[in-house]
Amino acid sequence: MLTTKMLAATAIFLGAALASAQAGPIKVSVAAEPYPPFASLDASGKWVGFEVDLANLVCKAAKLDCEIVATAWDGIIPALTSKKIDVIWASMTITPERSQQIAFTIPYYNTPAEFIGNKDDKFEFTAEALKGKTIGVQTSTIHAQYVQKAYPDADIKTYGTQDAANADLAAGRLDLVLADAAALDDFLGGKDGTCCDVKTFPKDPIFDGGVGGGLRKEDTDLKAKLDEGIKAVYTSGDFATLEKKYFKYEVGTPPK
Protein backbone atom coordinates (compact mmCIF):
# COMPACT_ATOMS: atom_id res chain seq x y z
CA MET A 1 0.00 0.00 0.00
CA LEU A 2 1.33 3.44 -0.92
CA THR A 3 2.14 5.72 1.98
CA THR A 4 0.75 9.23 2.25
CA LYS A 5 4.15 10.66 1.34
CA MET A 6 4.43 8.45 -1.72
CA LEU A 7 0.94 9.47 -2.85
CA ALA A 8 1.80 13.11 -2.41
CA ALA A 9 5.05 12.71 -4.33
CA THR A 10 3.23 10.92 -7.13
CA ALA A 11 0.65 13.69 -7.33
CA ILE A 12 3.37 16.36 -7.53
CA PHE A 13 5.18 14.42 -10.27
CA LEU A 14 2.02 13.96 -12.31
CA GLY A 15 1.10 17.63 -11.91
CA ALA A 16 4.56 18.72 -13.06
CA ALA A 17 4.40 16.35 -16.02
CA LEU A 18 1.00 17.70 -17.02
CA ALA A 19 2.19 21.30 -16.76
CA SER A 20 5.22 20.42 -18.86
CA ALA A 21 3.05 18.76 -21.50
CA GLN A 22 0.85 21.86 -21.66
CA ALA A 23 3.81 24.24 -21.95
CA GLY A 24 4.62 25.54 -25.40
CA PRO A 25 5.04 28.66 -27.49
CA ILE A 26 2.47 31.43 -27.34
CA LYS A 27 0.24 31.16 -30.40
CA VAL A 28 0.07 34.59 -32.00
CA SER A 29 -2.57 34.54 -34.73
CA VAL A 30 -2.84 36.56 -37.89
CA ALA A 31 -5.99 36.24 -39.99
CA ALA A 32 -5.98 33.31 -42.39
CA GLU A 33 -7.20 35.56 -45.20
CA PRO A 34 -4.27 37.37 -46.92
CA TYR A 35 -4.11 41.04 -45.96
CA PRO A 36 -0.98 42.51 -47.54
CA PRO A 37 1.18 44.27 -46.54
CA PHE A 38 0.22 43.24 -43.00
CA ALA A 39 0.18 39.46 -43.34
CA SER A 40 0.20 37.07 -46.29
CA LEU A 41 1.78 33.80 -47.37
CA ASP A 42 4.94 33.84 -49.45
CA ALA A 43 5.75 31.31 -52.17
CA SER A 44 7.12 28.86 -49.60
CA GLY A 45 3.95 28.99 -47.49
CA LYS A 46 5.47 31.14 -44.74
CA TRP A 47 3.56 34.04 -43.19
CA VAL A 48 5.26 37.35 -43.92
CA GLY A 49 4.39 41.03 -43.67
CA PHE A 50 4.41 44.03 -41.38
CA GLU A 51 2.40 42.48 -38.55
CA VAL A 52 4.37 39.22 -38.70
CA ASP A 53 7.67 41.10 -38.44
CA LEU A 54 6.28 43.31 -35.68
CA ALA A 55 4.98 40.34 -33.68
CA ASN A 56 8.42 38.72 -33.84
CA LEU A 57 10.10 41.93 -32.69
CA VAL A 58 7.65 42.42 -29.82
CA CYS A 59 7.95 38.81 -28.66
CA LYS A 60 11.75 39.05 -28.76
CA ALA A 61 11.72 42.30 -26.76
CA ALA A 62 9.30 40.76 -24.24
CA LYS A 63 11.38 37.55 -24.03
CA LEU A 64 8.41 35.46 -25.11
CA ASP A 65 8.52 32.26 -27.16
CA CYS A 66 5.93 32.92 -29.87
CA GLU A 67 4.62 30.96 -32.83
CA ILE A 68 2.84 32.66 -35.74
CA VAL A 69 -0.37 30.84 -36.66
CA ALA A 70 -3.40 31.74 -38.78
CA THR A 71 -7.12 31.68 -37.96
CA ALA A 72 -10.15 32.52 -40.10
CA TRP A 73 -11.09 36.13 -39.41
CA ASP A 74 -14.76 35.52 -38.65
CA GLY A 75 -13.83 32.92 -36.01
CA ILE A 76 -10.76 34.55 -34.52
CA ILE A 77 -12.34 35.83 -31.28
CA PRO A 78 -13.99 32.44 -30.53
CA ALA A 79 -10.62 30.78 -31.21
CA LEU A 80 -9.05 33.09 -28.62
CA THR A 81 -11.67 32.62 -25.93
CA SER A 82 -11.64 28.81 -26.42
CA LYS A 83 -7.83 28.85 -26.02
CA LYS A 84 -7.01 27.57 -29.50
CA ILE A 85 -4.80 30.66 -29.85
CA ASP A 86 -3.30 33.02 -27.28
CA VAL A 87 -3.08 36.40 -29.03
CA ILE A 88 -4.94 37.98 -31.94
CA TRP A 89 -2.44 39.97 -34.01
CA ALA A 90 -4.51 40.71 -37.07
CA SER A 91 -5.14 44.44 -37.58
CA MET A 92 -8.01 44.31 -35.09
CA THR A 93 -9.18 47.80 -34.14
CA ILE A 94 -9.85 48.35 -30.46
CA THR A 95 -13.56 49.10 -30.00
CA PRO A 96 -15.85 49.27 -26.95
CA GLU A 97 -17.88 46.33 -28.30
CA ARG A 98 -14.85 44.08 -28.73
CA SER A 99 -13.47 45.19 -25.36
CA GLN A 100 -16.53 43.70 -23.71
CA GLN A 101 -15.43 40.27 -24.95
CA ILE A 102 -11.63 40.41 -24.83
CA ALA A 103 -8.73 42.51 -23.58
CA PHE A 104 -6.29 44.42 -25.77
CA THR A 105 -2.66 45.41 -25.61
CA ILE A 106 -1.80 49.06 -25.99
CA PRO A 107 -2.25 50.11 -29.65
CA TYR A 108 0.67 49.18 -31.90
CA TYR A 109 -0.39 50.99 -35.05
CA ASN A 110 -3.19 53.14 -36.47
CA THR A 111 -3.93 54.19 -40.03
CA PRO A 112 -6.96 55.99 -41.45
CA ALA A 113 -9.74 54.31 -43.39
CA GLU A 114 -10.28 55.32 -47.00
CA PHE A 115 -12.80 54.89 -49.78
CA ILE A 116 -11.46 53.99 -53.21
CA GLY A 117 -13.31 53.84 -56.52
CA ASN A 118 -12.90 54.06 -60.28
CA LYS A 119 -10.77 57.02 -61.34
CA ASP A 120 -13.53 58.34 -63.62
CA ASP A 121 -16.21 58.38 -60.92
CA LYS A 122 -16.97 61.20 -58.50
CA PHE A 123 -19.01 60.89 -55.31
CA GLU A 124 -20.65 63.00 -52.64
CA PHE A 125 -20.32 61.14 -49.37
CA THR A 126 -23.77 61.77 -47.94
CA ALA A 127 -26.35 59.11 -47.14
CA GLU A 128 -28.62 60.42 -49.89
CA ALA A 129 -25.90 60.66 -52.55
CA LEU A 130 -24.71 57.08 -51.99
CA LYS A 131 -28.24 55.66 -51.99
CA GLY A 132 -28.20 52.64 -54.31
CA LYS A 133 -24.42 52.74 -54.77
CA THR A 134 -22.64 49.42 -54.27
CA ILE A 135 -20.00 49.45 -51.52
CA GLY A 136 -17.69 46.52 -50.78
CA VAL A 137 -16.25 45.82 -47.33
CA GLN A 138 -14.64 42.88 -45.56
CA THR A 139 -17.01 41.08 -43.21
CA SER A 140 -16.83 41.56 -39.41
CA THR A 141 -14.74 44.75 -39.64
CA ILE A 142 -15.21 48.29 -38.38
CA HIS A 143 -15.45 49.32 -42.03
CA ALA A 144 -18.51 47.12 -42.46
CA GLN A 145 -20.02 48.57 -39.27
CA TYR A 146 -19.38 52.10 -40.46
CA VAL A 147 -20.99 51.84 -43.92
CA GLN A 148 -24.02 50.04 -42.50
CA LYS A 149 -24.51 52.94 -40.07
CA ALA A 150 -23.56 55.86 -42.33
CA TYR A 151 -25.10 54.66 -45.62
CA PRO A 152 -28.13 52.51 -44.76
CA ASP A 153 -29.63 52.85 -48.26
CA ALA A 154 -26.49 51.82 -50.11
CA ASP A 155 -26.10 48.30 -51.49
CA ILE A 156 -23.48 46.93 -49.12
CA LYS A 157 -21.63 43.76 -50.13
CA THR A 158 -19.47 41.93 -47.61
CA TYR A 159 -16.53 39.74 -48.53
CA GLY A 160 -14.54 37.09 -46.72
CA THR A 161 -11.28 38.68 -47.85
CA GLN A 162 -10.21 42.18 -48.79
CA ASP A 163 -8.65 40.82 -51.98
CA ALA A 164 -12.08 39.62 -53.15
CA ALA A 165 -13.61 43.06 -52.61
CA ASN A 166 -10.74 44.72 -54.44
CA ALA A 167 -11.09 42.31 -57.35
CA ASP A 168 -14.80 43.11 -57.71
CA LEU A 169 -14.02 46.83 -57.69
CA ALA A 170 -11.41 46.38 -60.42
CA ALA A 171 -13.93 44.32 -62.42
CA GLY A 172 -16.54 47.08 -62.21
CA ARG A 173 -18.93 45.18 -59.95
CA LEU A 174 -18.61 47.73 -57.12
CA ASP A 175 -18.75 51.51 -56.99
CA LEU A 176 -16.61 51.85 -53.88
CA VAL A 177 -14.52 49.88 -51.41
CA LEU A 178 -13.81 50.95 -47.84
CA ALA A 179 -10.88 49.53 -45.89
CA ASP A 180 -7.67 50.40 -44.07
CA ALA A 181 -5.69 52.97 -46.05
CA ALA A 182 -2.43 51.06 -45.81
CA ALA A 183 -3.98 47.89 -47.21
CA LEU A 184 -5.76 49.73 -50.03
CA ASP A 185 -2.67 51.75 -50.92
CA ASP A 186 -0.85 48.44 -51.41
CA PHE A 187 -3.61 47.40 -53.85
CA LEU A 188 -3.60 50.76 -55.66
CA GLY A 189 0.16 50.48 -56.13
CA GLY A 190 -0.18 47.17 -57.99
CA LYS A 191 -1.23 46.44 -61.56
CA ASP A 192 -4.76 45.44 -60.51
CA GLY A 193 -5.29 48.78 -58.79
CA THR A 194 -4.54 51.04 -61.75
CA CYS A 195 -8.31 51.39 -62.31
CA CYS A 196 -8.90 53.26 -59.12
CA ASP A 197 -7.89 56.01 -56.74
CA VAL A 198 -8.65 57.37 -53.28
CA LYS A 199 -11.97 59.21 -52.98
CA THR A 200 -12.13 60.30 -49.34
CA PHE A 201 -11.11 59.50 -45.77
CA PRO A 202 -14.17 59.05 -43.54
CA LYS A 203 -14.02 60.66 -40.10
CA ASP A 204 -15.77 58.77 -37.33
CA PRO A 205 -14.91 57.81 -33.70
CA ILE A 206 -15.11 54.13 -34.72
CA PHE A 207 -11.70 54.53 -36.38
CA ASP A 208 -9.96 56.25 -33.46
CA GLY A 209 -9.10 53.30 -31.21
CA GLY A 210 -6.01 52.08 -33.01
CA VAL A 211 -5.02 48.46 -33.56
CA GLY A 212 -4.02 46.24 -30.64
CA GLY A 213 -3.29 42.64 -29.83
CA GLY A 214 -6.35 40.77 -28.56
CA LEU A 215 -6.06 38.64 -25.43
CA ARG A 216 -8.25 36.77 -22.97
CA LYS A 217 -9.18 39.07 -20.10
CA GLU A 218 -7.63 36.74 -17.51
CA ASP A 219 -4.21 36.79 -19.23
CA THR A 220 -3.04 39.91 -17.43
CA ASP A 221 0.60 38.82 -17.16
CA LEU A 222 0.81 38.19 -20.90
CA LYS A 223 -0.79 41.57 -21.62
CA ALA A 224 1.77 43.31 -19.39
CA LYS A 225 4.66 41.57 -21.16
CA LEU A 226 3.32 42.38 -24.63
CA ASP A 227 2.69 46.01 -23.65
CA GLU A 228 6.30 46.30 -22.50
CA GLY A 229 7.45 44.61 -25.69
CA ILE A 230 5.54 47.10 -27.84
CA LYS A 231 7.02 50.01 -25.89
CA ALA A 232 10.53 48.56 -26.25
CA VAL A 233 10.17 48.19 -30.03
CA TYR A 234 9.15 51.84 -30.30
CA THR A 235 11.90 53.04 -27.94
CA SER A 236 14.64 51.09 -29.73
CA GLY A 237 13.73 52.56 -33.11
CA ASP A 238 12.86 49.13 -34.52
CA PHE A 239 9.27 50.21 -35.17
CA ALA A 240 10.37 53.22 -37.21
CA THR A 241 12.66 51.01 -39.29
CA LEU A 242 9.88 48.50 -39.91
CA GLU A 243 7.43 51.27 -40.73
CA LYS A 244 9.71 52.64 -43.45
CA LYS A 245 10.12 49.16 -44.92
CA TYR A 246 6.39 48.72 -45.51
CA PHE A 247 4.76 52.16 -45.70
CA LYS A 248 5.24 55.57 -47.28
CA TYR A 249 3.86 57.37 -44.25
CA GLU A 250 3.74 57.03 -40.47
CA VAL A 251 1.44 54.37 -39.00
CA GLY A 252 2.86 54.38 -35.49
CA THR A 253 0.91 55.04 -32.33
CA PRO A 254 3.45 56.18 -29.73
CA PRO A 255 2.83 54.20 -26.52
CA LYS A 256 1.43 56.07 -23.55
Mean pLDDT by 10 residues, the chain (256 residues): 44 42 82 94 96 98 98 97 98 95 97 95 97 97 96 97 96 97 92 96 92 98 98 97 91 84
Within 10 angstroms of residue 103's Cβ, the number of other Cβ atoms is: 19
Find the farthest-apart pair of alpha carbons in the chain and give their distance in angstroms, rounded: 87
How would DSSP label each residue in 201-232? ----GGG-S-B--EE-TT-HHHHHHHHHHHHH
What is residue 17's predicted lDDT score, i.e. its pLDDT?
A: 41
Beta strands in 57-202 (DSSP E): 66-71, 87-88, 103-104, 113-118, 134-138, 155-159, 176-180, 196-200
Based on its alpha-carbon atoms, the radius of gyration of the chain, rounded to whole angstroms, reads 21
| pTM of this structure | 0.82
What is residue 13's predicted lDDT score, i.e. its pLDDT?
A: 44
What is residue 100's predicted lDDT score, i.e. its pLDDT?
A: 96
What is residue 253's predicted lDDT score, i.e. its pLDDT?
A: 84
Calculate the alpha carbon distances from 17 to 12, 13, 21, 41, 106 in Å: 9, 6, 6, 36, 35
Within 10 angstroms of residue 192's Cβ, the number of other Cβ atoms is: 15
| Cross-sheet strand order for the sheet of 113-118 | 155-159, 134-138, 176-180, 113-118, 196-200
What is residue 104's predicted lDDT score, i.e. its pLDDT?
A: 98
